[in-house]
Amino acid sequence: MANTYKDKARELMKGFCRVCPVCNGKACIGEVPGMGGLGTAASFHNNMSALAAVTLNMTALHGVTAPDTATSFLGIPLSFPVIAAPIGGAQFNMSPGFSEETYIESVLGGFEAEGSIGCTGDGVPAFIIDAACASLARHKGIPFIKPWEGKELDEKIERVLACDPPAIGMDVDAAGLVTLRKMGRPVTPMAPATLQRVIDSVHAKKKPFIVKGIMTPSDAEKAIEAGADAIVVSNHGGRILDHCPGTAAVLPAIAARVRRRISIAVDGGVRTGCDVVKMLALGADVVLIGRPVSVAAVGGEMEGVRAFCQTIRQELTQAMLLTGCARVADISAEILWK
């Protein structure tokens, strides 16, 4: 199924994504909108190289025979510690002939069918949040809203809250996103006091709040002070600021500062189940995956997403087996080669 959906995606995503054998940002430098990295794509490349530099200690001398990949995040049960990252704008980022409705339905439905959860994105065209809300009415999912100014932010939050999701997120790392600027709706950074007001309003509805776009320990502290329940260590896939470090490079310091005080997710360059193990060993609780999920959705719709999830879970199981981890909770820095 994987080869089939990739072949189909390569056809449908022509001009937006080449569906390379390895999704590393080298063939799509500067292609934003599209699937590439901003400018020189150094941030995209750094995500890949930082994760590739992490190596694992192999061991086959232990009693683990059937690793358990189940975990939870913010009280949400997951069959494996992978969540679909929030991505919107299928028609102008992926394929003009692929509808937003089909895209988000494929992502949420596919991850739900495999025992995990997907996130929905946000953007300027109304059809993005329309499609998100329609799918959230049918599937479990986590909506992410961009840090809009004025009443639009409150209106969108109220709208997704009405879908009764298990949590709500905000990708503060959307500040400066080229796609939004080209559509005449630039988004600026959010003051911590404003973020706290937003989080308080969501907490009043008994929902946990996730802040995505944390790249320093000090920003992780600010998220905690504002009341966030979880953070996503992310540089927005290398699409907002050139020359950022890779997320795998900054994750350990962030985890050392705030772990056990807040839940930690991470994205950036994750392509295999082995990469998932690395990120967990570096300090994350769960991992978000973006571009490969988009390829699976465009190329194979819900069945393509399910096939991708099954592959990642199989690779994760194998990596846990050969690092001696019986449970997700057993994955720690002890399995990393130094």
Coil, helix or strand for 169? Answer: strand
Q: Tell me: domain 2-54+63-335, CATH 3.90.1150.10, correct?
A: no
Contact criterion met (CB below 8 Å) for 220 and 251? no
Token pair 């809009």 is at which residue? 148
What residues pair up with 168 in beta bridges, in sequence order? 209
Domain positions in the chain: 2-54+63-335
Q: What per-residue confidence (pLDDT) applies to 186?
A: 67
pLDDT along the chain (338 residues), means of 10: 87 94 95 93 98 98 97 98 96 91 97 98 92 96 92 93 97 82 77 95 97 98 98 95 97 97 98 98 98 97 98 98 98 96
Give the integer Cα–Cα distance in Å for 253 and 245. Answer: 13
Using alpha carbons, select from 154, 155, 33, 24 the residue that is nearest to residue 91.
33
316 CB-near residues (< 8 Å, 6+ apart): 69, 80, 81, 82, 273, 274, 276, 277
Using alpha carbons, select from 210, 212, 103, 201 the residue that is nearest to residue 161.
201
Q: What φ, ψ does residue 218 adopt, rounded to 5°?
A: -65, -40
Around Cβ 230, how many Cβ atoms within 10 Å? 22
Q: What per-residue confidence (pLDDT) applies to 318?
A: 98
Burial of 134 (0-12, 13-18, 19+ CB in 10 A): middle
Q: What per-residue confidence (pLDDT) applies to 323?
A: 98
Q: What per-residue confidence (pLDDT) applies to 1?
A: 67
275 CB-near residues (< 8 Å, 6+ apart): 51, 269, 287
Threshold 0.85, pTM exceeds: yes
